[in-house]
Chain A
Amino acid sequence: MFDSNNEAIIGANIKVKGSPTIGTTSNIDGVFKLTVPNEKSVIVASYVGIQTMEIEVGKKRNFNVTLTENAGLNLGEVVVVGYGQQKKASVTGSITQTTGEVLERSGGVTNVGAALTGNLPGVVTFSSTGIPGADEPKIVIRTQSSWNNSDPLVLVDGIERDINTVDISSVKSVSVLKDASATAVYGVKGANGVILITTKRGQEGKAQVQIKADMTVKTVSKLPEKYDSYDALILRNRAIERELPISPGAWTDYRPIQIIDKYRHPANATEWDRYPNVDWQDYLFRDMGLSYHTSVNVSGGSKFVRYFSSIDFVHEGDMLKHFDSGRGYKSGYGYNRVNVRSNLDFTLTKTTQFSLNLFGSNGQRTLPWGADNSGESSSWASAYKTAPDAMRPVYSNGMWGWYAPRNADVPNSAYLLATSGIEKRTTNKINTDFILTQDLGMVTKGLSARLDYSMDYRFLERERGVDDRYHSTTQRMWVNPDTGQIEYEAQVNPGTQLDPLNTIAWSTVAGNVDLGQTFRKIYYSAQLNYDRTFGKHQVTGLGLFSRESYATGGEFRHYREDWAFRATYNYALKYFAEFNGAYNGSEKFGPDYRFHFFPAVSAGWTLTEEPFMKKLKFIDMIKFRASWGQIGDDNVGGRFLYADQWAYGGNTLMGYIPADSPYKYYRLSSLGNKDVHWETVEKRNFGIDYSFIDGMLAGSVDIFSDKRTDILVSGNSQAIPSYFGVTPPMANLGRVDSHGYEFELRFNKKLGTDTRLWANFKLTHAINKVKFKDDPQLKPDYQKAAGHAIGQTYSYIDNGTLASWDDMAGSTKWETNDSERLPGDYSIVDFNGDGVINADDRVPYAYSGIPQNTYNATLGFEWKGFSCFVQFYGVNNVTREISFPTFQASSTVVYVEGEYWNKYTGTGLPMPRWSTKVNEANNGTRYLYDGSYLRLKNAEISYKFTGKGIERLGIKVLRVYLNGDNLLLWTDMPDDRESNFSGMGPNGAYPTVRRFNLGIDLTL
């Protein structure tokens, strides 16, 4: 008796139909013997995960039975787990897995992290920027349960590596380990969940060449709407009118309608210059940017060697226009990356296999000189904050513009980008794995050993390109709309009394290796595996020892030593038990806490293997899983937290002309806490896997609860008075509980032979609550971290607007700037009832920045070679601060916010202030948005050509597809970002994009 892979099926049930007492099971070689009553008897063979088969005995006495797997449950399907793989049927942990093919249809996205979105229940991603080459999202598995670090552990081919050390076209599978049972082998590193990425390998056979090419058109997804000069100035007039009682001086800023009208209808070029009306977003961004992606891989092999080799090229184009600087170069953003990979497997002897993985990557970012991913970038800031009437980017005489009154706060991004120089930053990565696998069948059957040795290197070269920081000068002008006078930026040189000159004085720079970023890592491990079946008993074991050391830049190397083990047992694929754990050593903790053991146990029960379930034909499979375990997290800020750290270096200034004193500092740079140790999370997970009606409906449900304790609280967050004098040491004080559920339903229906309809729906709900964070005792409960989610949003609460002077007189006063309060401002709730609005009235509001619910729905249809699908992705119960304050920096920048308050209706948003300052409380919840969104995340139409027509061209399969990413978006937010971690935080970032992608996929 064999399965479809021609492997013996052990322990299959064989019975005679109608005579349940006559029966047997197949032995370890898949052989069975059964004496049947007569030739008319029908043998019924059944096995978990296999379609039950009926065989008429007839005259034959020897049968070669090949059972085929249930569609809903592929017995052969393996799941990548920590340090190995398991058959899906025997998994008892909470693991979800997806394949490279799924990631490849993500519509022109070029990084793996972004492609995970929506494809794995429990994985929540947040993107924040669209900068080419640096647009990776942050990833959280299920939810945060620590304020220190929520990043999952990412392993590429078993080694902790950056998720970008692999390109999508080389990914075979991505497996996400979520519960204690699955992550326990990673012990002190696994508390935030683990993402295992496995790359493709060659199969024995003729060389197969796959060529993929994509061309992606990108458009800016969404930017906050701003009013043009006319509307903005009208609104400013209204604001001035409103503020007149408290700020009569602002009357000088009032503009008559005749003047305002000139901004829309300038009579001539002079007026066009004097009364600018610039749509900065349109001016700065292209209608479309282009990206390309091409990959070629060859795989195949002989008995001796199997290979998978690939080369992958990505070009990400810029969304910003590249302006002519007038200095002989054009600056902007861009990204080119070439990855090469060679995965080789050598069969050295019958029992020995040697594998070699080589990976190299060269990624080159192009940016304005010195540009950063976070913080304000002057290259695009104008799109958000420069007023339409501030200046012309380029005046009609060709001279660059500047905003003379507030040059620093109201930038001209076109000028700043154009003259910023060009910097190329190149990241080179080389990863090498050597793996030796030895079958130790001679010692005992089922035993094998594996040795791994890996070396990773990463280098960053920066500051190559055009350095134009210091010496070039370009005259800029501004036409003062009040006077019509031109104001120049460069003044007459006070020394020489000469007029300023435009000078071009940039230099090309060869670049230098940023030694502080040079990364190297050595990892080695020895592993013993055991896998054997004794009748209905299957036992597997794993023991592993590993060490790694790594360093970035000039730091001392980090060291780590891990011992991991796993033992699994199952009885007839019906009852499962698993025990696993890790004994980890981390240099981060003192001698008393250096090593610790993290255990987990889990059990499973496949209900459908019970005889009484066999009658229910429509149920293919129901399996229950439960797990419990303790996992740790040592990935917390700082090294050697257990010891006082001393530093040497630095001098104070002494002398009549201050200069370094010869006495170098010895200083206690940080205080240690000898009791400091890892964070521990106790994870519980209960899951059900199901499959009905021949796999038409299948999926799983998981319910989980995590209790994290000993969370490190940094010294500054502890309730310790300032007079302690230094930052207190970190201490394991915090506790967080989190819980939630995941639900997955897959639908798969064949209609006839050529048509398939499929759909899947995934839902993740996860919430967390801080139980303790050493809040100061006297802080009111509503302001303590305890009792609220990590990252809970706090805000003043607005309760409508003050509709009249009467309302104002009856409302609570502000602690500061109360004299500048006006009708039409928010009525802010005096939460603590102390008669004054101050910081004590900031209360928990809405949610945190991590969505509690994520939804994914995919619908697909296939007919012959044609296929299409749409994927929707949405989140809710999330809050995001998006702060675009109208009239910021005393300029006429006005965002479309909705109706403002007016005295006739008495309702609407508070009018922004022009010349007076309000208490920050008056913002209320104005800049806090419901961060929910629903996207048409991906959609694809493709056609696969097969058959004679293309074979004549030497092509086996040809697939042409049109797909897209982030195609439609429904949200209340004024921009399209999921988190604020990049750019200017809540004030904007390099815009995220929408992608339309045309691709071709050839297999030769």
Chain B
Amino acid sequence: MNKTFLTFNKKLAFCACLAASVAMTSCTDYLDKAPNSTIQEGEAYKNFKNFQGFTEELYDCIPNVTSHDYHNSFNLGEEVIWEPDVNYSLSYLIDRGDYWAWNNTYTSWLRNGGSSSGTARGDKGFLWGLAWDGINKANLGLANLDKMVNATQEERNLIAGQLYFFRGWFHFMIMQYWGGLPYIDKVLTTNDRLPRLSYQAKAEKAAEDFRRAADLLPVDWDATKAGQATMGNNNIRINKVMALGYLGKDLLWAGSPLMNYESTGSKSYNRDLCKRAADAFAEALEICESTGRYQLADFSQWSDLFYTHNQNGRLPGLKEAIFYENLRETSSRWRWNMVNDFRPQLINASGVKCWPTANYVDYYGMANGMPINDITKKDAESGYDPEYPWKGRDPRFYKDIIFDGVKCCTNGKGDMKETKQYASLYTGGSYRVDTKGCLTGYMNTKFCPQLTNDYDGYRENNCMVLSFMRVADVYLMYAEATAQGYGSPTSKVNGYGLSAADAVNKVRDRAGVGHVADKFLASLDGFMSEP
């Protein structure tokens, strides 16, 4: 038996050699093939074209506020009210104490998640998720700026400027809703745990980034060499005015009583921050006025600021809009969505209805510039008369709001009752019955044409895109910051021609509204009460 075992061992050795020789010929290369076929890291940074490709994904991290899903709820204050049985709108849920609805209801645009590279509007209703994603990308880009070897200084500045701007901007957007959080200015490892900053501390960090961006970026990309490749399509690429506008906005928010209280314990405006905000706004406005890059739109084009109709999907905003929400599916997203929400079921069968509140509508003052103090009382000073509540009002009122008696259908077939053709918004009127009828007596025409209904075709071909910042906005913020920072409604920033009150009046002039009355210019509180 021993002999058998011996021969067996010999043979086994032979087999082992055989096996070993097979093993030699195999090597781990076999398992290496696929990974070598992927894109190498350095590719993204090596020149302007690639790095700009890397950077432009940040533009798609900008959230979609108005139409990421059906029936978005983006007015969380008292502006609007949704039909009463709609229990998934964010404003409904927040009214009932469910603050976690920011992340739990699809009508919220603040949620965690989303996809920066996704191309659907539904990928973009995620401020929390996309902002942190964007911050990470910006940091990754900034950490690799030195790998951009094949580029001019101008190209380097453009890339760096955009990255600094977005890092600041996403932090700013998050701060607005969640207050002071860590400021992420490097690529983190999974082990990093950072403390929460105070609001002002975080805002200062964002301000640094906005300042850097403002220093690096041009006023208009069309005027740069690198921008030639995309001549005429550079309207939303980040520029100096955007950076300055947000620098001011960031500082003004930080200097507001609410945030000043959070950070310092004082319930008043922080003068220093307001001053710096005013300076930034002044710088931005000065550039706008001197270059005409951005300017207030003419009042005749008012609706084009908010939506365009039958203009081939052209963005609204004219030269006034500075910074937009996300642009995915702009030509179609309003149609299959909220355009149905602003008219009663009587003339627009589908949709989940949303109405401007009467309280909010009352803020539209009189054409002479005076506010309405009590909607129920006649007032000689302003000329308001409750018997004719819609007479002599601020011209913007007539552009934004539909009230009782306004024509809502053309009656093309000639068989329509007048109570259907004209807004029957009186109590018990045909526009106000049942759960899909108008609750408040007012309807919105700021975001949709007056003749929006099932019959006249005005629901088609609308492009409604919200501006996060407009020139009018910057004038008003300048007014607030200057008044608070420099002490009075008549103060100015050195070297800039307009006082706080002048800035407000400039916006009023455009709409043909009377100036802020002198009695409101006597004190800061009086001035602040006059929007």
Contacts and interface: CB of A to CB of B under 8 A. Distances in A.
Interface in B115-134: 116-117, 119, 128-129, 132-133
Interface stretch (A85-93, A423-431, A584-592, A800-808): A584-592
Contacts of B236: 654
A491 B459 CA distance: 15
A655 B19 contact: no
Contacts of B454: 491, 494
Given A646-B41, A723-B182, A724-B136, A665 B53 contact: yes
B34 A650 contact: no
A639 B34 contact: yes
Interface string A535-572: 10000000101010000000011111101000000000
A721 B38 CA distance: 29
Contacts of A639: 34
B37 interface: yes
Given A559-B31, A656-B235, A667-B116, A534 B1 contact: yes
A558 B230 CA distance: 41
Contacts of A726: 133, 136
B282 interface: no
A548 to B, nearest CB: 10
A640 B34 contact: yes
B4 to A, nearest CB: 6
Contacts of B132: 722-725
B28 A494 contact: no
Contact of B87 (A563, A657, A917): A917
Interface stretch (B206-214, B308-316, B367-375, B510-518): B308-316
Contacts of B97: 815-816, 818
B85 A890 contact: yes
A646 B38 contact: yes
B390 interface: no
A725 B330 contact: no
A666 B96 contact: no
A583 to B, nearest CB: 10
A559 B34 contact: yes
B145 interface: no
A917 to B, nearest CB: 4
A520 to B, nearest CB: 15
Chain A, interface size category, equals: 35 or more
A470 interface: no
A718 B41 contact: no
A941 B494 CA distance: 102
A526 B97 CA distance: 68
B190 A723 contact: no
A182 B101 CA distance: 51
A665 B312 contact: no
Contact of B57 (A650, A722, A818): A650
Given A661-B56, A722-B132, A723-B182, A556 B37 contact: yes
Interface in B42-83: 43-44, 49-57, 59-60
Interface in A297-328: none
A654 B235 contact: yes
A663 B56 contact: yes
A545 B26 contact: yes
B22 interface: yes
A447 B15 contact: yes
Nearest to B28: A594
Contact of B54 (A557, A595, A661, A666): A666
Contacts of B112: 722
B315 A656 contact: yes
A376 to B, nearest CB: 16
B39 A666 contact: yes
Given A652-B59, A665-B56, A666-B53, A725 B233 contact: no
Given A557-B34, A654-B233, A723 B50 contact: no
B85 A915 contact: yes
B57 A667 contact: yes
B434 to A, nearest CB: 8
Interface in B184-219: 184, 188, 190, 192-194
B229 interface: yes
Contacts of B14: 443
A358 interface: no
A816 B97 CA distance: 5
Nearest to A715: B190
B31 A587 contact: yes
Contacts of A669: 117
Contacts of A647: 39, 117
B4 A640 contact: no
Interface string A156-177: 0000000000000000000000
A663 B48 CA distance: 9
A429 to B, nearest CB: 24
Nearest to B9: A444
A534 B1 CA distance: 8
B232 interface: yes
A657 B457 contact: no
A658 interface: yes
B43 A668 contact: no
B455 interface: yes
Contacts of A587: 31-35
A558 B38 contact: no
Interface of A: 249, 404, 443-444, 447, 491-492, 494-495, 497, 526, 528, 532, 534-535, 543, 545, 547, 556-561, 563, 585-587, 591, 594-595, 639-640, 643-648, 650-659, 661-669, 718, 720-726, 728-729, 731, 815-819, 839, 890, 915, 917
> 3 closest A-B pairs (Cβ-Cβ)?
A725-B136, A666-B44, A444-B11
28 contacts: A494-B412, A494-B455, A494-B457, A543-B15, A557-B33, A558-B34, A560-B31, A561-B26, A585-B30, A585-B31, A587-B31, A587-B35, A646-B38, A646-B41, A646-B43, A654-B235, A655-B232, A657-B314, A665-B54, A666-B43, A722-B112, A722-B128, A723-B132, A723-B184, A724-B192, A731-B190, A815-B98, A839-B100
